[in-house]
Amino acid sequence: MQHAAVLIPGDGIGPEVAEAVRRVLDAAGAPVAWQTHLAGQAALDEGDDVLPDSTVEAVRDTGLALKGPCTTPVGRGFTSVNVKLRKALDLYAAVRPVRNLEGVPTRFEGVDLVVVRENTEGLYSGVENEITEGVVTSLKVATQRACERIARWAFEYARRRGRQKVTVLHKANIMKLTDGLFLRTAEAVAGEFPEIGFEALIIDAGCMRLVQEPSQFDVLLMENLYGDVVSDLCAGFVGGLGVVPGANLGQDCAVFEAVHGSAPDIAGKGGASPLALLMSAVMMLNHLKETRGDAEAAAVADRIKAAYSSALAAGAATRDVGGTLGTLAFADAVIERL
Ligand code: NAI
């Protein structure tokens, strides 16, 4: 079985890490036929839209993409490509597994949690207004439909993966309507999954408990902004942004991308870690088994995972996790062990 998939290299460190990941996937014999499409600054540089229709259509056609990071200007300029893509394809579930890796030094041991983030609404609706000079507002949107489907996704995932508990982090004491709806809906869905534990924590206290003992958490369920912030916090438990993968999943399409951004501070130097995008590619291959029954793809995923785990355990590491290897040298260390 061969699967057509879109490769969006992105910008900043995106093209460097995408190239490294593609090499590893090719060497492992991943059953994927790539179609490269641009987005972000790379698309603008070619005189195209920041998110060309052809890129969105290609992902819609194939149902599958591996995406490098795309820069979003802060406080000015164009809307985030990532937010646009997630909205265009209704990729409502952002899933970010956070685990300790042997060979990556961290402050915490035994971390194995999954952040599930609602990906389409909340404060990322982008509805901002200037009421009058010096007074601006941003609209936080919550719908019953989106709250329910993300809660259901989290519990179904927990059931499928044998996870024990779903914790919802919220601020329903202050945002009684929006976070209240998110919380009440999660509670109602939890009732349908009696074998899975459920807890609700106000997010400020929840963050304190997270940094005290992250290993007490299993699946974390959050609305959009909280999920964005807390997933980077959680990345810090296990070695930083270079070691946490992600998936953006919808009914018909799935886009896999690392949690990190385009890292302009190290772009073009060949030193970025390709690991987070490689781990995202492994999630993509496993997704092919879950959604299309392709056991061979999952076997390739297992081989890649074993190879990067063995490379890390042997001390092969990029600079962000205390090593000395550059992007392609790390990819080569993985390829050697396939
Ligand atoms: P960032 O994740 O790009 O960088 C934060 C820090 O982590 C930097 O010091 C960077 O060098 C380091 N880092 C990130 N990825 C790394 C890797 N693979 N290997 C080694 N070190 C790595 O976050 P920042 O600086 O806040 O954002 C830069 C740009 O990326 C912004 O325009 C932002 O909007 C965009 N961004 C895009 C995302 C996406 O496309 N999914 C996600 C997050 C941010």
pTM (global) more than 0.85: yes
The pLDDT value recorded for residue 80 is: 84
The pLDDT value recorded for residue 326 is: 97
**Is 124 noted as a catalytic residue in this protein?**
yes
Q: Compute the distance from residue 85 Cα to the ligand 1 centre, in Å.
A: 18
Residue 327's region, left for phi above 0, alpha for psi from -120 to 50, else beta, is alpha
Average pLDDT of the residues in 52-71: 97
Which domains are assigned to the chain? 1-97+244-338 (3.40.718.10), 107-238 (3.40.718.10)
The pLDDT value recorded for residue 52 is: 95
Average pLDDT of the residues in 235-255: 96
**Is 308 noted as a catalytic residue in this protein?**
no
- Nearest-atom number in ligand 1 for the CA of 246 is 41
Average pLDDT of the residues in 63-68: 98
pLDDT one-digit tens code per residue, 213-234: 999 999 999 999 999 999 999 9
Distance, CA of 319 to CA of 201 (rounded, Å): 36
Residue in 204, 252, 269, 302 annotated catalytic: 204
Residue in 67, 84, 87, 171 annotated catalytic: 171
Q: Compute the distance from residue 87 Cα to the ligand 1 centre, in Å.
A: 21
Q: Compute the distance from residue 272 Cα to the ligand 1 centre, in Å.
A: 10
- Ligand 1 within 6 A of CB of 206: no
* End-to-end Cα distance, the chain: 21
Average pLDDT of the residues in 57-68: 98
Distance, CA of 325 to CA of 338 (rounded, Å): 18
Residue among 236, 338, 229, 320 nearest 274 (CA): 320
Residue among 219, 214, 230 nearest 152 (CA): 219
What pLDDT band is residue 73 in, cutting at 50, 70 and 90?
confident
Distance, CA of 323 to CA of 274 (rounded, Å): 13
